[in-house]
Structure 1
Amino acid sequence: MKDIRTAMEGETVGSIVADPITRHVLALYCGASGDHNPIHVDIDFAKAAGMPDVFAHGMLSMAFLGRLVTVLAPQSALRSFGTRFASITALGSEITCTAKLLSRFEEAGESRARLELIATDQNKDIKLLGEAVVALPN
């Protein structure tokens, strides 16, 4: 991980790779999140909906991006965090989350950094795009 305070704009400041998404991970996420949509855990339901198999919750990949942000800055420094879902994440996908420094700026009396967030799978297909703003330590 690179120090956000000294990184150049456009530079990658961090990345993480999540474990492959398995049926077990999806079942655990259903319980933890309260999102029990059967399209994520019931293969018969998914096939009836025209899908070849179940697929990951979009919010699971967003959680991976959140994990990266909180590796780069403490949770208490988070000022905003948002994503746009780009494509479905299949079983077996290995999600890589990357953060790039877009800018540093002053707001509300503190130094802040705006980060570009991208989640891709092992084929480099984009799954989520987002941004986060974090307060920087003095």
Structure 2
Amino acid sequence: MSTVTKGEEFGPLEVTVTRANLVRYAGASLDFNPIHWNERFAHEVGLPDVIAHGMLTMAFAGSLVTDWAGDPGKVLEYGVRFTRPVPVPDDADGATVTFTGKVSEVSEGSPAIAKVLITAKCQGQTVLGKAVARVAVD
């Protein structure tokens, strides 16, 4: 990673989430909550459709940062708040989530630490809040 400066922006990372992704993630995470696969159940509990797992959305946002950092080991801290679900329609197109990052501050020191603010949007709406990573930079 070259010199990092305050205000630097990176991305976007556009991810298409399909129902097939949800099935695979459910199997890997053992999260078989019916809101992630049963449309009838999702509607009964007030959701607009089956929704993506929050941790899957968080993982995609994390990959934006690790790709930018060039080394997952440089990510020292990472957290988000789940502010809005990602509805995933039952079609071939799925849902597109767009992730971007912006360096909001860079500390002095060795290594310098960059505070990265992550934006995640689906259908023009923010789906992750307070998405922040702290990354060791050279």
* Range of TM-score over shorter length: 0.7 to 0.9
1:22 alignment partner in structure 2 = 18
Question: How many residues were matched structurally?
Answer: 131
Instruction: Using the TM superposition, give the Cα deviation of residue 4 of structure 1 relative to its aligned residue in structure 2, in angstroms.
Output: 6.3
Instruction: Using the TM superposition, give the Cα deviation of residue 36 of structure 1 relative to its aligned residue in structure 2, in angstroms.
Output: 1.3
* Structure 2 portions without partners, runs of 5+: 89-93
Match of 2:3 among 2, 5, 28: 5
Identity among equivalent pairs (%): 37
Computed over aligned residues only, the root mean square deviation of the Cα atoms, in angstroms, reads 1.7
Q: Matched residue of 1:30: which SS?
A: helix
Partners of 1:133 and 1:4 in 2: how far apart? Answer: 16
Deviations 1:73-118 (A, max 9, x none): 11111110001111111113201110001011036x4211110001
Normalized against structure 2, the TM-score is what? 0.85
Normalized against structure 1, the TM-score is what? 0.85
Q: Which contiguous aligned blocks of 4+ residues in structure 1 show a shift greater than 2 angstroms?
A: 3-7, 50-53
Q: Matched residue of 1:27: which SS?
A: helix
* Structure 1 portions without partners, runs of 5+: none
Match of 1:84 among 73, 81, 86: 81
Higher relative contact order, chain-length normalized (CA < 8 Å, sep 6+)? 2
